[in-house]
Structure 1
Amino acid sequence: MLDVAVIEEPAAAEAALDPIRSRILAALAEPGSAAMLAVRLGLPRQKVNYHLKELERHGLVELAEERRKGNVTERIYRATAASYVISPRALAAVSPDPTRSPDQLSAHWLLALGARLVQEVGTLLTGAARVRRRVATFGIDAEVRFASAADRMAFAEELAQAVAVLVGRYHDEAAPGGRSHRVIVGLHQAPAPQPEPEAGQDNAP
């Protein structure tokens, strides 16, 4: 089972987003048969079996083993990954394009950069999985609290300058056998944590 699988096909994305099928995917973190899933999810076995076949058709679940019980063969399924990410490639016609309106201070542009990150790294992961290789990447995740908007702007300017210096130092357009890498640095406000609903309550407005 993969840690993360990237869904690139529109039909597979549609299958994963179906409420019942997403529940089945979550339940199949632990392998099970249609009968076992029906009990876990409180659904008719026939309905579970139908959705399992659709998820298998799109490569989201796979047959783990077959168990013989008398005259019946029980098919045990498992999810192909612990979690899934839908690539913007699945919505290619309407996916955001960061080259369209570059603006370092635009939240929409930052979102477009993030979408391209998911798409490109997802493509690399899919290809690497086929040949059983790792993808060479590097990431930094940090949180900084600014005293003022002026401090935030000063930080952003220093960060941009530092990145420009490093890129200028190491970029070699003519390096034989060199490989291009993309560097993305983003800064955004951290959303406030949402309160946990009390027992017996839901999040409906």
Structure 2
Amino acid sequence: MTCAIIDYGSGNLHSAEKSFQRMRREAGGPEITVTSDPEAVLRAERIVLPGVGAFADCQAGLMAVPGMVEALRQRVESGTPFMGICVGMQLLATVGREFGDTPGLGWIPGAVTALQPSDPALKVPHMGWNELHIDRPHPIFDGVEPGEHAYFVHSYHVTPDDISHRLAHVNYGTKVTAAIGRDNIVGTQFHPEKSQRTGLRVIANFLNWAP
């Protein structure tokens, strides 16, 4: 059994791999592999899609790996647990509205829109620690207490069409989506690999999640 972290030229793969490897040792779960091989993805029991940067650049990078989107789609449709991180989460939406409209994977209907805090003193990008508010209980948040903090670096966030797909939010002059999910798919806008105890708990939960 393997958990495939997708390498498509975007994402902090080293820290993500290190955190996933640590939690596999501590909490169990499948072997961790970083791969750009669609065949390896088709064999994987879990999939993680990281992402850092602009939505369009990440989508272009993913599409540029021959067969990767098709392999991801096949595994997701077969029920394989899937986790998107930061822009990897945003790619789950229908469309990204950063520098024009770019189609996303469309697995969780909604749009990726610019942060617009009501307080002009709040800077964009939203960068640093913020308090998580859980909107809907989900296994990836097992053991995460209300009010725990996670680490964010972003200027855009997912606005889901169906509010029940929003698992958690933070307050930053408005409600900002912190996690989304449906069926066998989850995504976090925050970086679990940089969120210390809270993030490591989320990673461990994902590695042992049985949707």
**Which range, TM-score by smaller chain?**
under 0.3
Considering fraction of residues, name the structure with more strand. Answer: 2
Considering fraction of residues, name the structure with more helix. Answer: 1
**Structure (1 or 2) with the larger CA radius of gyration:** 1
TM-score (norm 1): 0.22
